[in-house]
Chain A
Amino acid sequence: MNSLSSASRWTDGSMRKRVAKRYAAERRFRLFGLAAIALSVAFLAFLLVNMTWKGASGFTRAEVKIALDFPRSDLIVDPAALRGGDAERTLADAGLENVLDQAAVAQFGEGGADLFGGASARELASQLIAEPDLLTRRAELWLPLSSKGDVAAKTDGDPALEQLLAKAEVRRSFNSSFLTSSDATDASVVGVWGALKGSFLTILVTMALAFPIGVLAALYLEEFAARNRWTDMIEVSINNLAAVPSIIFGLLGLAVFLNFMHLPRSAPLVGGLTLALMTMPVIVIAGRNAIKSVPPSIRDAALGVGASKMQVVFHHVLPLALPGILTGTIIGMARALGETAPLLMIGMRAFIASPPQSITEPASVLPVQIFLWSDEVDRGFVEKTSAAIIVLLVFMLLMNGLAIYLRNKFERRW
């Protein structure tokens, strides 16, 4: 009797309503979860698309066809002089930029000179050097625009320039100099090569220090260390260091490496040292996990055939743990590659127009370069900043992809 009444309660109107309400709550909750993750993914997609959209145009440049009549211009350069080593210098001294400005005014009218800038003169010079007999005739050449002109051609910029460009023949081409040149004050000639090279040198120093130290420390803590107060202290400080804000490492680098040791300011050496101290705890933690996952039977077998503890570790445990350690290291390096704040502290925000030749020369790194460009007033820098961000993100994705590939390739279940 009892069971019947309870069964009938399920078909009861109020019960049904309650169940429906509970199921609705269930669906709502599920939907919230879906919405949360969809929102996060949508934000990521928006960020990436936004950056790509803004930055893609940084890899191209607008070019304009301009007629140049060299024999009739003020440019007095012997074509033979252009075969020498400092031909660019000769052309600049002969007033190439003035000639270009005059031609622009002649063709586009008043204000036409604004269309051309440093990049245009540089490109014209290199075309003249490649083809010296242009100097003897009238020629129609495609030249890149100045930063202002570029902005006007691609998006909406100065209305006067836009009107001029409406009459001109404009095309877009790949801006290869963005990948090969360095920082400059003129947005039309800037490039990321100097910052990229600085980043490589810095990461090289970081890796050369953090990887061996991190691996050795992980081996010691996992394989040799007795559990006592000392190793506890080491462990606690490693865990804390992994969570210390990165800017604090910048302060450390400033106080110790620059003010105390007088190492060269804004050099990849100091940047690398600072980032190495920051990355090392990450590598130690990843390394310990990898070492821990090597099964004890391997150690026992090696010990059983007479290897010393040191041989067990270096001949058997380390090679087996290495893929895991490498994955952790690459992830740590990727983080170091994107780090900005500590490098600002040690003076890596200087204007550096030439790529560094060694680790003691002043250099910039890619994230700092992005930060510096983001501060520029010139509108031409907006797309360059986004383009530099694309380059940085590509490197990050490559490194993380490599880490995932390594993990999948070498992952082993014992």
Chain B
Amino acid sequence: MTLSIALFAVLAIAVAASFLARNRARGLRGGGVRLNSLPNYHAAFVGLWAAIPALLFLAVWAPVQTGLIEQTALASPAGQQLPDFDLQRDSILSEAREIATGERSVGFNPEASELAPIFAAAAGRYALAGSAVAILIALGGAFFAMRRVNVDFRARSGVEKLVMALLVGASLIAILTTLGIVLSLLFESLRFFNLVSPVEFLFGSTWSPQTAIRADQAGSSGAFGSIPLFWGTIFIGAIIAMVVAIPLGLMSAIFLTQYAPRRARTWLKPILEILAGIPTVVYGYFAALTVAPAVRDLGISIGISSASSESALAAGLVMGIMIIPFVSSMADDSIAAVPQAMRDGSLALGATKSETIKKVVLPAALPGVVGGVLLAVSRAIGETMIVVMAAGLAANLTANPFESVTTVTTQIVQLLTGDQEFDSAKTLAAFALGLALFIITLILNLIALRVVRKYREAYE
């Protein structure tokens, strides 16, 4: 926690330094000379120089420090006696860390309370060192910048260079995030594929990730064939949901663009968009509480004995409704982009409005509609809460919509919300599933964007 004090100290130094710089610059102007830059620019220049390097250092130091603290604890006599087995050692270490920061008072493992004081001491030492360096950097930066406050100094261009660096940095965060996603998924997935062969993962048809209470337990490895999960995901997201969403979304878009009076359109469009804005946990609850029992009753009444209270149909129906606005707004855009001349031509030949739409407008708008549908599929595949709450956990390879199926996202949630051991195949499997999901949705999005873009260029 000393690091947050250092953070405030750095900010205080920056503010103080910029005040000093402003006064100094004003003092220079008092002599009747014309400054190159306004005093505020001098102040900003000094403040930024004091704050940015020190803050960068703190941002780098914070994660480095936790690693260093752990190293120290492991190097101590008590730390060297820790069991070699990774799971246990990690849990003891994290417990000791929590005791040291006061998050809990007594550890589950006796070793943890022994290690805690070492942790606390190391944490204090490194935090103090880090804070001292950060404050020195801030003071150094302030001093360096302050020396340049002068009549001729171009503080404005200096500030603008710094701001430019900030702008570039901000836009790099997107790349860093993408990189972070790819690397973390890849890294953990590789660890998973060390334990389970990729062939089994990709082509196996049994999914039963078992909870191993002890590492040496029989059958702790489980079966990690992901075919049933992908089937369940496609069944719910790409089949049932789309059967609901495509006709409703497309017809809504056609009605709104071609038939609805202007006033109705201004009201109906935002109302449809509310469907996309409702949190998915609400849909999930609705699906589980209201739709699923109704679907089960329906299944039983038409004589399907295996109808389950958690069914693919319930989840898919509700997801389809959630997706309607995506399909309809994409269809809306591409229908609006069809040139009026094509429509007029068709109408002039005597076609009715619906014939024009079916034979001229829709074929012309098709690429955009297809792109929208692909985006909607990618969204449905990645959707989590509805399927977690309504689709069930049983990995069934079935085409019966009344039965319970499970999906990739459901399994990720299941795998990661139980125990928190990060070396078991069970938890690592979640990252492998995540990687597969990421790649699939990425490909779908890229295709969709390409289709949409290509089509748009055709009319420009």
Contact = CB atoms under 8 A, between A and B. Distances in A.
A300 B397 CA distance: 63
A50 interface: yes
A233 B416 contact: no
A224 B378 contact: no
A170 interface: no
B177 A41 contact: no
A220 B168 contact: yes
A189 B98 CA distance: 30
Nearest to B257: A33
Of the candidates B160, B166, B174, the one having the most CB atoms from chain A within 10 angstroms of its own CB is B174
Given A40-B272, A40-B324, A41-B272, A29 B357 contact: yes
Given A221-B171, A237-B177, A254-B416, A36 B384 contact: no
A278 to B, nearest CB: 9
- In which size bucket is the chain B interface? 35 or more
B184 A370 contact: no
B429 to A, nearest CB: 12
A239 B103 CA distance: 40
A154 B379 CA distance: 39
B402 to A, nearest CB: 21
A246 B63 CA distance: 25
Contact of B285 (A33, A251, A389, A396): A389
B389 A220 contact: no
B430 A22 contact: no
A340 B278 CA distance: 12
Given A243-B375, A252-B184, A280-B174, A41 B441 contact: no
Interface stretch (B110-118, B222-230, B431-439): B431-439
Nearest to A225: B171
Contacts of B166: 216
B292 to A, nearest CB: 12
A338 interface: yes
B381 interface: yes
- In which size bucket is the chain A interface? 35 or more
Of the candidates A252, A264, A334, the one having the most CB atoms from chain B within 10 angstroms of its own CB is A252
A247 B252 CA distance: 30
B78 interface: no
A40 B177 contact: no
B100 to A, nearest CB: 12
Interface string B431-455: 1001001100110010001000000
Contacts, number: 252
A349 interface: yes
B268 A37 contact: yes
Nearest to B321: A43
A183 B438 CA distance: 34
A382 interface: yes
Contact of A251 (B169, B185, B280): B185
A30 to B, nearest CB: 6
Contacts of A314: 163
B352 A234 contact: no
A381 B384 CA distance: 22
B342 interface: no
Contact of A36 (B184, B251, B290): B251
B232 to A, nearest CB: 15
Given A29-B357, A51-B286, A370-B281, A345 B352 contact: no
A261 to B, nearest CB: 5
A37 to B, nearest CB: 4
A339 interface: yes
B252 A36 contact: yes
Interface string A128-150: 00000000000000000000000
A47 B281 CA distance: 13
A400 interface: yes
A306 to B, nearest CB: 12
A214 B97 CA distance: 34
A26 B278 contact: no
A213 interface: yes
A385 B286 CA distance: 11
A370 B282 contact: yes
Contact of B277 (A26, A30, A334, A340): A334
B173 A341 contact: no
Nearest to B185: A251
A50 B287 CA distance: 12
B170 A220 contact: yes
Contacts of A309: 160
Contact of B255 (A36, A221, A374): A36
Given A245-B384, A245-B441, A338 B278 contact: yes
A25 B353 CA distance: 10
A367 interface: yes
A335 B284 contact: no
A26 B352 contact: yes
Contacts of B437: 245, 247-248
Nearest to A375: B389
Contact of B184 (A217, A221, A255, A367): A255
Given A40-B272, A371-B281, A247 B171 contact: no
A33 B175 contact: no
A237 B175 contact: yes
B288 interface: yes
Interface string A286-324: 000000000000000000000011100010000000000
Given A41-B272, A338-B280, A220 B167 contact: yes
A36 B248 contact: yes
B301 to A, nearest CB: 21
Interface in A331-357: 334-335, 337-341, 344-345, 347, 349
A120 B203 CA distance: 57
Contacts of B277: 334-335, 338, 396, 400
A23 interface: yes
Given A240-B178, A244-B181, A252-B185, 11 more contacts: A29-B358, A40-B321, A50-B290, A213-B170, A238-B174, A248-B437, A262-B63, A338-B282, A367-B281, A370-B285, A404-B270
Interface of A: 22-23, 25-26, 28-30, 32-37, 39-41, 43-44, 47, 50-51, 212-214, 216-217, 219-221, 224-225, 231, 233-234, 237-241, 243-249, 251-252, 254-256, 259-262, 264, 277, 280-281, 284, 308-310, 314, 334-335, 337-341, 344-345, 347, 349, 367-368, 370-371, 374, 382, 385-386, 389, 392-393, 396, 400, 404
17 contacts: A25-B354, A29-B358, A30-B255, A34-B255, A40-B272, A40-B321, A234-B172, A247-B384, A248-B434, A252-B180, A252-B181, A260-B63, A284-B174, A309-B160, A344-B413, A349-B417, A367-B281
9 nearest A-B pairs in the assembled complex, by CB-CB distance? A245-B382, A338-B279, A33-B255, A36-B251, A255-B184, A216-B170, A29-B354, A341-B384, A220-B167
